Structure formats: structure tokens, C-alpha cells
Amino acid sequence: MTRALHEETALPDLCLGGGVALNGVANARILSESGFERLFVPPAPGDAGCALGAALYADRIYFGNPQREMPDHPFWGPTVDGDDLARLAREDGQLVEELDDVALIDQIADDLASGQIIGWMEGALEFGPRALGHRSLLAAPHAVETRDQLNREIKFREEFRPFAPVVPIEAADKFFELTRAGTRLSRFMSGVFPVRPEWRSRLQAITHIDGTARLQSLERTMAPRLYALLEAYGQRTGIPVLLNTSFNLAGEPIVNRVAEGYSTFLRSGIDVLVAGQTRVTKRAVARRMEDVHA
């Protein structure tokens, strides 16, 4: 269909909406096989995005308002406050640290390198079904056991379902077969691309059985703190890639406010919870890590 559309219009760009646009495999094929040079998929291409499109149509067409520049990110929902998390966790007897940005990023990079799973809450909630760095579960991408642990102890979902990687956009082509046009699709985790064969053995947790991954390539300006965390993790491991999946349990929506993230943290195998500049660990996890370092 898209090939015929390109032949009919000879236009270079295609914007694809509707729930079907969440099919990252199809999107990548459209980009490579249709003749369109660029494919745009918004972060919420389903019903919620259609509602936004209807509102924009009314604003521009019926009310005649001019086009305005908008930030190119999906973070439009309610925000989280690290102080709220600190208060909740202290009332509940968990271990709480409040750190500056540099110390927090360094500590979480160490946590990830030691195999811990992080619940990461930052700023405003994503608009759309993909966790893109503000309500994410983060983990090291290397071992297949990490994927199995996430499925077994946190996501409670089918074992065959893959997890997605996030990588700085400048390093994406080193680890993934990503064209320049593909970087637009990968901005909102809307395309599936091959993991380069030489890296698959070191990226087992995010490589699907067919050798692909639903990639998010991240620009620093879109999620600066997650970008800094990728850099810090890359300094420790040589691979600035993290497993990034939505912060929720099976059958539940992505967490929104701090209380929802904290509840999910308590009911699952998440090791460390972060909101803003607050880091929380379960007492049992903290004791286990002290034993390791001893």
C-alpha cells in the first residue's frame, strides 16, 4: 500500500498514524521498501494520538491559529517529585539517599553494572504506550538471564517477548544496523532494526530470536539525565546501551505518579527506585550489596 502511495504522490515523506503504526517491524519495512525517504510515527499513534490530532486540526483549521514550534519529545504528562518518594520510603522504613545529579548518575551506573534492576522515574510522564526514559525499568543488556529475571520477577509476562534497548544516537550505528532515516523511527522506539552480529553475544537481553531489537536512539536534549546515565554506564562497560522497558507490571498501565512507582517497586523484584534526585533501596537488597562489597 505504501509503495503504491509513493508511486502516486512522489512525495519524500510519509506520516503514519493509528494503532497499526505501533508495528515496528512493518514500519522498518515501509522505510526500506516503499520508496519514501523518511517515515514519521508520533509517540502515541493510537486512539490517544488521534484525539490530539483532532484537537490540533480544530485549532489550525476551524480556529485558524498559526503553526507554532513545539518541543520534539513525548513528555507531556504529570511530573514526579523526588521529595515525595523520599517521604513515602522513609515512612515505610526503606533506605533513602538524596544525591546531587553527578553522584546519583554514578551510583545508578554502578547499580546497573552490578546487575541490579532500576525503576527510573524522571520529570513528566510519556504520552503514548512506549517508555522513553521517564517511566522506565532499566537493566544491563548483556545476559539473557536479565531478560528472564525481568519476565519472571517483574513483568510477569510471556518469555518470548523481547525487551528494547536505548542507546545514545551518536553510538547507535555502532551496535545496530540503523540508517540515517531510521534514526527518526528509533527516536520514539517505533522501528525494529538488526543488532549488528558482532554485538549480539554481548547484547543478549535485548536481542530478539531473529537478531533484531526495537531500538530507542536517544538525543541528549530529549532526556538529558538518561543520556548521562548511558554515558556513565558506557564508561564502566564499554557499551553505552541499556535495556529499557516500561515501568509497570503485567496488566497494569505505566506508572504515573510516585506512589504508583513505589507500589510497583514493593510488589516486584525491582532492586532500586529513583525519582528525581532520590534513590531508594529495599533493606534486603542493601544488606545483600553490603555483603558483596565486604
Q: How remote is the C-alpha of 198 from its chain's centroid? A: 24
pLDDT at 53: 86
The grid cell for 69 is 514550534
Rounded distance between C-alpha atoms, residue 95 and residue 284, angstroms:
10
With a cut of 70, say whether residue 242 has pLDDT above it.
yes
**Residue 285: pLDDT band by 50, 70, 90 thresholds?**
low
Domain 75-293 listed as CATH 3.30.9.10: no
Burial profile 226-264: b = 16 or more Cβ within 10 angstroms, e = fewer: bbbbbebbbeebebbbbbbbbbbbeeeebbbbbebbbeb
Q: Which residue type, as a one-letter code, is found at position 265?
A: F
pLDDT, tens digit (0-9, with 9 covering 90-100), for 68-87:
888 899 999 999 999 999 99
Q: What is the mean pLDDT of residues 219-239?
A: 97
Instruction: Give the DSSP H/E element, type plus range, for residue 30.
Output: helix 24-33
Rounded distance between C-alpha atoms, residue 44 and residue 16, angstroms:
11
Q: What is the mean pLDDT of residues 163-188?
A: 95
pLDDT at 293: 52
**191 and 185 in contact (C-beta within 8 Å)?**
yes
**Residue 226: pLDDT band by 50, 70, 90 thresholds?**
very high
With a cut of 60, say whether residue 194 has pLDDT above it.
yes
Average pLDDT, whole number, for the chain? Answer: 93
Residue boundaries of the structural domains of the chain: 2-62, 75-293
Question: What is the pTM (predicted TM-score) of this model?
Answer: 0.92
pLDDT, tens digit (0-9, with 9 covering 90-100), for 22-81:
999 999 999 999 999 999 999 999 888 888 889 999 999 999 999 888 889 999 999 999
> 237 or 292, which is more confident?
237
Contacts of 221 (CB under 8 A, 6+ apart): none
pLDDT at 213: 97
pLDDT at 132: 97
**Residue 289: pLDDT band by 50, 70, 90 thresholds?**
low
pLDDT, tens digit (0-9, with 9 covering 90-100), for 9-24:
999 999 998 899 999 9
Q: Which residue type, as a one-letter code, is found at position 126?
A: E
Q: DSSP assignment of 38-83, as one string?
A: EEE--S--SHHHHHHHHHHHIIIIIS-PPP----SS-EEEEE--HH
